[in-house]
A = this chain, B = another copy of it.
Amino acid sequence: MSKILFQHINEFVSMEGQEFEEIISYFTRRDVDKKELLMHPGDTVLHDHFVLSGCLQMYFIDMEGVKHTVQFALQGWWLADYLALQTKKPTEFFIQAVKKTAILSISSTKRDELFKAFPKLESYFRTVYQIAYGSYQTRMKYILSYSKEEIYFKFRDAFPDFVNSIPQYLIANYLGLSPEYISKLRRKRIS
């Protein structure tokens, strides 16, 4: 199943199968159970995770004990606390599997070794992070432009698989809407 990473790398950087076999030895393949936590606030040994199947969620819990979703990662997406990964300071986020999820994980130390051995992977990760950074700029545009209701419909139209494969209460949490409100919106559109 790790061929998903091989294909993803080849979208941005040309790579032979033989090279990839060496590269994959830097990663740990993990099967994560539904609700299993991969990262807790306070962790300093951090990993970058690539999703082979399933879905990861990054969230935090505020001072009132309310959970807020910052980001999801589906198949072919990377997920980490990227500031903490760089600064080596403790993270303030959780990363959890939304459902049974298969991932490839790499620690920041291993990733540094990987970059030394395969410098062209700097180019791959540079592109991945540039796209992710740009996606956040666009996400800010959505947040500033539209009502939560409009964002839900735009989100549903742009990512139908996502909306169909993630529990409704999690999409609601991500968009800052109550699950009941999303049900109401769905009924409104159907009728």
Copies in the complex: 2
User: A144 to chain B: which residues have CB within 8 Å?
Assistant: 60, 62, 68, 70, 176
Inter-subunit contact A83/B141 (CB<8 Å): no
- Known interface pairs A119-B122, A126-B126, A144-B176; A137-B68 also in contact (CB < 8 Å): no
Q: Name the one of B81, B123, B135, B141 contacting A92, with C-beta atoms under 8 angstroms.
A: B141
CA of A130 to CA of B138, assembled, Å: 17
Decide: A70 and B141 in contact? CB cutoff 8 A. Answer: yes
Quote the shortest CB–CB distance from A92 to chain B (angstroms).
7
Instruction: Tell me, yes or no, whether A117 is within 8 Å of chain B by CB.
Output: no
Q: Within the complex, what minimum Cβ distance (angstroms) separates A144 from chain B?
A: 4
The reply on A181 being an interface residue by CB < 8 A is no
Residue from A60, A119, A136 having most chain B Cβ neighbours under 10 A: A136
Once A62-B145, A119-B119 are accepted as A-B contacts, the answer to whether A131 and B70 lie under 8 Å apart by CB is: no
Chain A 5-31 residues near chain B, CB threshold 8 A: none
Q: How far is the CA of A120 from the CA of B123 in the complex (A)?
A: 9
* Cα-based distance from A136 to B137 in the complex (angstroms): 8
The reply to whether A83 and B137 form a contact with Cβ atoms under 8 Å apart is yes
* Assembled-state Cα–Cα distance A97/B138 (Å): 20
